[in-house]
């Protein structure tokens, strides 16, 4: 027996494929699972509103799974270091196990805490539950971090993907006396506004929801993923991102399931849909690679010259609020923003469209968009959110050039040709024919009247003109880069 072990849960809220759990059980003796809500320890990136809703239900599911095994989840709130040291004294702990995190504030806190606990004579074991590859282990031929996805992923594919760690024991040894725990409601994670209805309609937080969704996607949608992933009116994407963020399922489990479904024994499944889907897991890995090596990027552009970018003024934040509320007058943009508010999620193609609109049509800072997504996405992930917004703004790694400006009408016509996605999320336009659904201001007055659409009334006119906004964005880019900067659609 090695004494009591504290098992510190963070973004690994599962019992399957959990290296920290495996290490805790292997030590022998009692295991005390604990989750600490430490908002201050997260720096500026404490969980946003939608993430807190998910976290509440995920913690509830984890506690239920632990109780089935004769254990329970101890809940605490406050400074993680102080809470852990208090629990160590109360339980006579001799070891602490946790899975590593990669956000800058967490990295700094964990390094100091591990050193302190070891100085106290405790055994500290940490594991990798969140990624296929540790960011520090991947480098280019010069020994530097990758900044372009394709060579990064090609390099990763040469490495063996480790199988999931076998954990989830039938029972977990309990201590003689459990330490004090807060009730889940005391964490006050649920929203105080009438918002959670749409989230509850859309999601089932917890391991069971993750496993069900992965199996459904692998069986029904993965084969056609390459063709359907850009079509927001279809159930063509995996939608696994929130479960992956909270660690209710791991990328190793995803990889193993896809490989099994593809009936492949090789490193990479052969079907095109599987390859494209797993490359999206690769983009998640790439995001963490960048965050680890460039920890300033959640608030500062990777490309330093963009610190001088001439963003537009927005007195009173009027245009930002129009964008947030889905009242821009561009139906594909508004549909995406309303889907986000209702479900806590947005289709990836539409994320690119709405992000391009904010930073290029409205010329508002990408950090404003990142902050809004952080508060409203159930899958708000610092690495992926940062990569996505810097990609859209043209200021990050492997970024879309700033002069690549998505035309919202053309994007809507290309990826939502029949207008079904817009009709679902912008119901005031539901009766417009497909010819005009993505540009209602071009419809004849009699068509608008027949559809019950009143521009400037129940649906806004465009808050900016596309051609003018594009020209101003290109001028701003040329001001940043010089007169030779190119321009194109």
75 forms beta bridges with 35
Count CA atoms within 13 Å of residue 392 on its CB side. 28
Using CA atoms, how far residue 317 sits from 65, 295, 337, 354, in Å, is: 45, 28, 17, 17
Q: What is the 3-state secondary structure (H, E, C) of the chain?
A: CCCEEEEEECCCCCCCCCHHHHHHHHCCCCEEEEEEECCHHHCCCCCCHHHHHHHHHHHHHHHHHHHCCCCCCEEEECCHHHHHHHHHHHHCEEEEEEECCCCHHHHHHHHHHHHHHHHCCCEEEEECCCCCCCHHHCCCCCCCCCCCHHHHHHHHHCCCCCCCCCCCCCCCCCCCCCCCCCCHHHHCCCCCCCCHHHHHHHCCCCHHHHHHHHHHHHHHCCCCHHHHCCCCCCCCCCCCHHHHHCCCCCHHHHHHHHHHHCCCCCCCCCCHHHHHHHHHHHHHHHHHHHHHHCCCCCCCCCCHHHHHCCCCCCHHHHHHHHHHHCCCCCHHHHHHHHHHHHHCCCCHHHHHHHHHHHHHHCCCCHHHHHHHHHHHCCCCCHHHHHHHHHHHHCCCCCCCCCCECCCHHHHHHHHCCCCHHHHHHCHHHCCCCCCCCCCHHHCCHHHHHHHCCCECCCECCCCCCHHHHHHHHHHHHHHHHCCCCCCEC
Cα angle value 410/413/414 (rounded, 5°) = 85
Q: Which residues are catalytic, by number? A: 280, 283, 311, 348, 366, 389
Q: Which of 335, 357, 348 is nearest to 425 (CA)?
A: 335
Phi then psi for residue 162, to 5 deg, are -70, 140
Task: Identify whether the C-beta of residue 231 lies closer than 8 Å to the C-beta of residue 372.
Answer: no
């Amino acid at each position: 027996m090695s004494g009591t072990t504290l098992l510190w849960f963070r973004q690994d809220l599962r019992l399957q494929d959990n290296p920290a759990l495996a290490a805790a059980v292997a030590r022998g003796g009692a295991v005390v699972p604990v989750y600490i809500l430490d908002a201050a320890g997260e720096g500026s990136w404490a969980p946003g509103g939608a993430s807190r809703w998910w976290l509440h239900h995920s913690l509830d599911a984890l506690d239920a799974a632990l109780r089935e095994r004769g254990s329970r989840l101890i809940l605490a709130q406050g400074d993680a270091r102080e809470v852990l040291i208090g629990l160590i004294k109360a339980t006579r702990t001799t070891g602490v196990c946790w899975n590593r995190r990669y956000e800058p504030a967490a990295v700094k806190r964990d390094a100091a805490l591990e050193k302190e606990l070891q100085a106290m004579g405790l055994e500290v074991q940490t594991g990798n539950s969140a990624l296929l590859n540790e960011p520090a282990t991947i480098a280019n031929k010069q020994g530097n971090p990758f900044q372009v996805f394709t060579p990064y992923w090609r390099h990763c594919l040469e490495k063996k993907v480790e199988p999931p760690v076998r954990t989830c024991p039938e029972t977990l040894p309990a201590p003689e006396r459990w330490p004090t725990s807060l009730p889940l409601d005391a964490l006050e994670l649920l929203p105080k506004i009438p918002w959670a209805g749409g989230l509850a309609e859309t999601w089932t937080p917890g391991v069971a929801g993750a496993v069900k969704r992965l199996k459904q996607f692998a069986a029904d949608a993965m084969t056609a993923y390459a063709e359907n992933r850009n079509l927001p009116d279809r159930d063509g994407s995996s939608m696994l991102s929130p479960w992956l963020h909270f660690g209710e399922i791991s990328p190793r489990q995803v990889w193993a399931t896809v490989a099994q479904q593809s009936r492949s024994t090789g490193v990479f499944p052969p079907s095109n849909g599987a390859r494209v889907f797993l490359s999206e897991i690769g983009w998640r890995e790439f995001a963490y690679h960048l965050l680890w090596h460039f920890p300033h990027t959640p608030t500062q552009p990777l490309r330093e010259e963009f610190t001088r970018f001439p963003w537009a003024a927005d007195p009173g934040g009027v245009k930002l609020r129009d964008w947030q509320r889905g009242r821009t007058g561009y139906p594909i943009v508004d549909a995406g923003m309303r889907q986000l508010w209702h479900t806590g999620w947005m289709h990836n193609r539409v994320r690119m469209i709405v992000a391009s609109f904010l930073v290029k049509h409205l010329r508002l800072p990408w950090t404003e968009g990142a902050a809004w997504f952080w508060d409203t996405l159930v899958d708000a992930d610092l690495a992926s959110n940062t990569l996505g917004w810097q990609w859209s703004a043209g200021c990050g790694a492997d970024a879309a050039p700033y002069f690549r400006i998505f035309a919202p009408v053309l994007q809507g016509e290309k990826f939502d040709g029949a207008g079904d996605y817009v009709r679902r999320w912008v119901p005031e336009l539901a009766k417009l024919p497909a010819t005009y659904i993505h540009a209602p201001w071009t419809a004849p007055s009699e068509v608008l009247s027949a559809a019950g659409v009143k521009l400037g009334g129940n649906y806004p006119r465009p808050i900016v003109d596309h051609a003018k906004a594009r020209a101003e964005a290109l001028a701003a880019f040329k001001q940043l880069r010089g007169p030779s900067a190119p321009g194109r659609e």
